[in-house]
Amino acid sequence: MICVAMLIGITSLYGQVKPNAWDLFAKTKFESKFNEKLGEYLFYPNFPADLKAMVGKEITIEGYYVPFAPEDGNYIIISKFPMSQCFFCGGGGPESIAEVNFTKQPQKFDVDDLITVKGKLKLNIDNLDHVNFIVDEAILISK
């Protein structure tokens, strides 16, 4: 009990705890719309105002590496969930993945490496070459 009280006191002394990026992404509502070019239904995001306000600001996000990006690029895909549960293979939705664009060629990662990156948030509504949540100018914080 004392520990919780101390944490609450510390939080009130130093300001609020920053929201988890995945929690912010989860506030996004998706609408299924027919894409004429592809001839199929796709999910299009409706980003909430508090997430739009974060565009261009620095965020830190922790996620699992999933190998769905080209090996020779400066970007990777991370997921809130391990590979077996991610958006591509499991039950996660589009709000559970993010594209990470590194400032320089990233090191090699193994499937399900848990990594933390920091960079500037970018949102994508309709460019099908990218996912909806993008971390630009990213640097690796930990692996």
Residue 7: other Cβ atoms inside 10 A: 11
CA distance 69 to 17: 32
Is pTM beyond 0.85? Reply is no
CA distances from 44 to 20, 34, 69, 95, 131 (A): 22, 10, 21, 11, 11
> What digits encode the pLDDT tens for the residues 61-98?
999 998 876 666 788 999 998 887 766 666 678 899 99
Q: If we measure between CA atoms, which residue out of 41, 53, 21, 58 comes closest to residue 136?
A: 58
CATH of domain 15-142: 2.40.50.140
Q: For the chain, give every domain's residue range.
A: 15-142
How far the first Cα of the chain sits from its last, in Å, is 33
The predicted-structure confidence for 99-117, as pLDDT tens digits, reads as follows 999 998 888 899 899 999 9
